[in-house]
Structure 1
Amino acid sequence: MIKLCIFDFDNTLMDGETITKFAEHMGVGKEVADITNQAMAGDLDFFESFSKRVALVKGMKEEDAKELAKNLPFIDGAKEIISYLKEKCIKVVVFSGGFHIGTDVAQEKLGFDASFANYFHTKNGITTGLAGGEMMFNESKGLMLKQLKGLLGLKKEEVMCVGDGANDISMFKEAGLNIAFCAHEVLKKEATYVIDKRDLREIKKYV
């Protein structure tokens, strides 16, 4: 019986990549999107890609980032699937290689229980091109899930994960049920189930 579900955020719950939304605002959307695609396909180390993308949005006003975060679009069925899982007494947590500025707003809107993500470094309300946090490396999600399982006293088979990219592989290895959602091929190889329809309500078939 599943007791904990971990969702990736960008391109899993959120329709798109948070960093790309910020980059588009700064006029560097294509450059950031290209780096993101390389990282999610497993062709570029996540930390290296993260650092390059954050550097490209240096100079963004913190107030602009907050406003953009308020209006991030969600994948069809995001709110419904979280409600469905919680009705089944499953804790829902988000692990994001993106930013708390996005996941914190999403938590209020979607109703998941907690999120782990990263923070922009700012000075005088302006991003410096640096960032830090809980989800900066290829193995971050797996390490965090391992800690959560220990804290909550959960077995591997009591945990499920949903994600789309290469940096989700490490958390898939810590869970008993793994769903690759509209995912890159590198993650599909690690999944229990693959969903290619862009509707999160499809998860109900497996939980």
Structure 2
Amino acid sequence: MSEYKFVFDLDSTLTKQEILPEISKYIGAHESISKITEETMLGNLSFEESFSKRVEILKDVPISKVREIIDNIELNNELIKFISQNINRCIIITGNLDIWINELMKKLNMSDKYYSSIANYDGEQVKFIEKIIKKEDVLNEIQSPVVAIGDGSNDTKMIEYADIGIGFGGVRPIAPSVLEVCDYAFYEEEKLCQFLKRLL
């Protein structure tokens, strides 16, 4: 058995849709949010800048409604199964806000195994972002060799710094910056899972 820890991005890696564009449909802002998301994926906007813009648009959506929307987002079940079967070796790192995704983390039994951006909120409303996570910084806290899996430009440094970096394009195209630094790229969930199992 290896000593690898497996670190997963959330949006379009474990989920079959990007979360923020799905939330945006509730307030009719899907087009503007999707455009910002796409610019970020392509590396034309920094994640910090684009995430701040998107949260500003979405922050008035009640937190309970956001959680309901996230609960209805389809997951990549083979990857979720891999996590559940190796739960003590898996970590989720997401740029999304803790208050939005914590119920999903409970559902996946990952409440104490995820890192996210942090929101300041009051009741049902997000007030502002307290901290935007830098995924690569989390790797410094992991006292094991790391396999990192992601798809977006904000995953680039995490994938570059990992012992094994994997780009996953099963939901949407892998960001060019990720393709430049990853050790492997997979476009089918089943093949990715087969590879991860060989690393156990």
TM-score, normalised to structure 2, is 0.85
For residue 184 of structure 2, what is the aligned residue in structure 1? 193
For structure 1, the 5+ residue unaligned runs are: none
For residue 157 of structure 2, what is the aligned residue in structure 1? 170
Conservation of the 8 A alpha-carbon contact between 2:120 and 2:126: yes
> Following the alignment from structure 1 to structure 2, what is the Cα–Cα distance between the partners of residues 189 and 9?
21
- Alignment of 1:27 with 2:28, yes or no, is yes
Q: Give the 3 Å change call, closer, same or farther, for CA 176–204 of structure 1 in structure 2.
A: same
Q: What do residues 59-106 of structure 1 show as CA deviations (whole Å, max 9, x unaligned)?
A: 2122212222322221241322213444xxx61111101122454233
Conservation of the 8 A alpha-carbon contact between 1:104 and 1:115: no
Q: Give the 3 Å change call, closer, same or farther, for CA 200–31 of structure 1 in structure 2.
A: farther
> Following the alignment from structure 1 to structure 2, what is the Cα–Cα distance between the partners of residues 131 and 50?
9
Q: What do residues 7-36 of structure 1 show as CA deviations (whole Å, max 9, x unaligned)?
A: 000010011122112111111011111101
Counterpart of 2:153, as a letter, is A
What is the RMSD of the two structures over their aligned residues, measured on CA atoms? 2.1
> Following the alignment from structure 1 to structure 2, what is the Cα–Cα distance between the partners of residues 78 and 110?
11
- Alignment of 1:104 with 2:102, yes or no, is yes
Counterpart of 1:42, as a letter, is G
Shift of 1:170: 1.4
> Following the alignment from structure 2 to structure 1, what is the Cα–Cα distance between the partners of residues 102 and 69?
13
Counterpart of 1:5, as a letter, is F
- Where has structure 1 moved over 4 Å in runs of 4 or more? none
For residue 8 of structure 1, what is the aligned residue in structure 2? 9
For structure 2, the 5+ residue unaligned runs are: none
Matches within 5 A, 1:115-194: 115-128=114-127, 130-135=128-133, 140-146=134-140, 148-149=141-142, 152=143, 154=144, 158-182=145-169, 183-194=174-185
Counterpart of 1:191, as a letter, is C
SS at match of 2:161: coil
TM-score, normalised to structure 1, is 0.82
Q: Give the 3 Å change call, closer, same or farther, for CA 200–2 of structure 1 in structure 2.
A: farther
User: What is the count of residue pairs matched by the alignment?
Assistant: 191
> Following the alignment from structure 1 to structure 2, what is the Cα–Cα distance between the partners of residues 31 and 56?
9
Conservation of the 8 A alpha-carbon contact between 1:161 and 1:177: yes
Shift of 1:173: 2.6
For residue 205 of structure 1, what is the aligned residue in structure 2? 195
